[in-house]
Structures are given as C-alpha cells and as structure tokens.
Amino acid sequence: MTAPQPLIAGNWKMNGLTASLAEARAVAEGVGATRARVAICPPAVLIHQMADALAGTPVLVGGQDSHEEEAGAFTGDISAAMLADVGARLVILGHSERRAGYRETDGRVARKVVAALRAGLEPIVCVGETLEERKAGQALAVVTGQVRGSLPSELAGHRFSVAYEPVWAIGTGLTPTTPEIEEMHRAIRATLVESFGPAARAVPILYGGSVKPSNAEEILAADEVGGALVGGASLKASDFLAIVKAAG
Ligand code: 13P
C-alpha cells in the first residue's frame, strides 16, 4: 500500500486582514514542485477573496470550522455549504481551540463532519490530549477515543485527514519527541483501520503543534506522519514554504 499523499495545511486562526492575501499569493508563487497537497485555512471572511486569488494555482483554501446544520437561526455561525459556496475545499473540524473554547464534544464534531461531507468539503478532523492527560498516562486512550467519537462512519469512501495536535504543543514551541509522535500516529492509524478497514491506510495523519521550518523535516519524516497542520508558522509565506519543502 502506498503512503498517503502528504497534506500541509496552514491554519491562520483569527489572524489576517485583506492585506494578508499577499502572503497567500506568495505561497502560491513559491510552492513549486512538491509531492504535498497544500492548503491555507484563513478566517472565514477572507475565504472568498483568497479562493479567487489562488484560482488556477495548486494551493487549496479551507475553513476553520463549520456548523452541523445546513441553515437556520444560528447567529454568528457559518454552514459548510456557505464555505463551499465561496470556494473552500476543505474544513478543519474539532480543533482543540473549538473543543475547549466552545465546548465542542466528539459527538458534535462528528455531526459537523457529516454536514461538511454533505457540502462536498474535505474534513481535517483534529484530536489531541492536554498536558494533564499526558502526565496521567492517558494520552493514547484520550486520543484514540476522540478518533472513535469524532469520525462518523459516513466518512468511508471520502477523502479526509486526521490531525494529531497535542494541546500542550500548540503555540508553545514545545513538541513531543519523534518516538512519541510515532507512537500516537501508529495508534491513530490502528484505530482508523479498525473503524474503516484497510482503505484507512490512505488517510493522511497530520501532526500539528509548533511545527516550524527548523523541525519540519524531522517531524514529516516520522513514521505515519502524513503532513502537518501549521498555525503560527503558516502566517509568513517564507516559513510556510520551508515547511512545504520539508515534505519533499
Ligand atoms: P501552532 O503551529 O501555532 O503551534 O498551532 C498549531 C495549530 O493549532 C494548528 O491548527
């Protein structure tokens, strides 16, 4: 079975104004030949313009969250169909900042995944343990539990990825050791195969949490790492491009 095509996705979080579209254009101009798929997930209000700016380039545009309902009285929320309508192709779901800040449960994330698939979006489903959970020796159980709970059976046959983002590694400059990353990614792979059968070997398992140009090569070469979900280092085209390059 061939290894999954890597995905390098930038999560801009709540950063970026229209002037930042220049960074996205710089990514598209500099991306060159790569075996990776490359995506940028800007704040929702920039998706339309970014999708226009990147049309005809290999760089895809994604959202950072979408609602589980198609439409309705949900003030401030955005549906998957709305993201797709303005040019998004992917969507990040279940990011720890949504799980913690908006109390999103595995069940809610799974419902959002179903809605995203219905809208034709490719989900990037995030999982990851807190520092307390790791210290208590629960990291593997927590993360594989999140994989079981957040990935609905409807994903079978669709293109999607899982992003392992240890909460304590996000925005902190800390990363797990390479053997720790490999142990977790192997456990996620086994859980995916349990749930979806051998076809799940083609699902990229991204690592996220303080990925930067200086550590990207080692992380991306680790067993069962099929790409990266990059926060802070995706805001600067030169750093993001260095990470894309590290994917080969
Ligand atoms: P940082 O790369 O800034 O640590 O953020 C990781 C992340 O949360 C990506 O979704």
Which CATH number do you get for residue 88? Answer: 3.20.20.70
Residues 189 and 143: beta-carbon distance below 8 Å: no
Expressed in angstroms and rounded, the spacing between residue 172 Cα and the centre of ligand 1 is 9
Q: How confident is the model at residue 4 (pLDDT cuts 50, 70, 90)?
A: confident
Expressed in angstroms and rounded, the spacing between residue 171 Cα and the centre of ligand 1 is 6
Number of structural domains (the chain) is 1
Give pLDDT, residue 9. Answer: 98
In a domain, 109, yes or no: yes
C-alpha 26: how far from chain center: 21
Q: Which atom of ligand 1 is nearest to the CA of 229?
A: 9
Q: How confident is the model at residue 208 (pLDDT cuts 50, 70, 90)?
A: very high
CA distance 213 to 224: 20
In a domain, 100, yes or no: yes
* Residue pLDDT, tens place only, 54-75: 999 999 999 999 999 999 999 9
C-alpha 136: how far from chain center: 26
Q: To 10 degrees, the CA torsion angle through 18, 227, 66, 201?
A: 160
Does 230 contact ligand 1 (Cβ within 6 A)?
yes
Give pLDDT, residue 105. Answer: 98
CA distance 14 to 200: 32
Question: Per DSSP, what are the bridge partners of residue 163?
Answer: 126, 206
Give pLDDT, residue 2. Answer: 62
Average per-residue pLDDT for the chain: 97
Percentage of the residues of the chain whose pLDDT score is greater than 70: 99
In a domain, 136, yes or no: yes
Mean of the pLDDT values across residues 193-222? 98
> At a CB cut-off of 8 Å and minimum separation 6, what does 239 contact?
212, 213, 233
The domain in which residue 126 lies consists of: 7-12+38-55+65-204+224-232
In a domain, 166, yes or no: yes
Q: Tokens representing 182?
A: 């490999």
In a domain, 1, yes or no: no
Question: Per DSSP, what are the bridge partners of residue 125?
Answer: 93, 162
HEC assignment per residue over 187-203: HHHHHHHHHHCHHHHHC
Q: Residue with the nearest Cα to atom 7 of ligand 1?
A: 231
Q: How far is CA 181 from CA 34, 200, 222, in A?
A: 23, 19, 8
Mean of the pLDDT values across residues 20-36? 97
In a domain, 32, yes or no: no
In a domain, 239, yes or no: no
Of 62, 45, 87, the residue nearest 206 (C-alpha):
62
In a domain, 31, yes or no: no
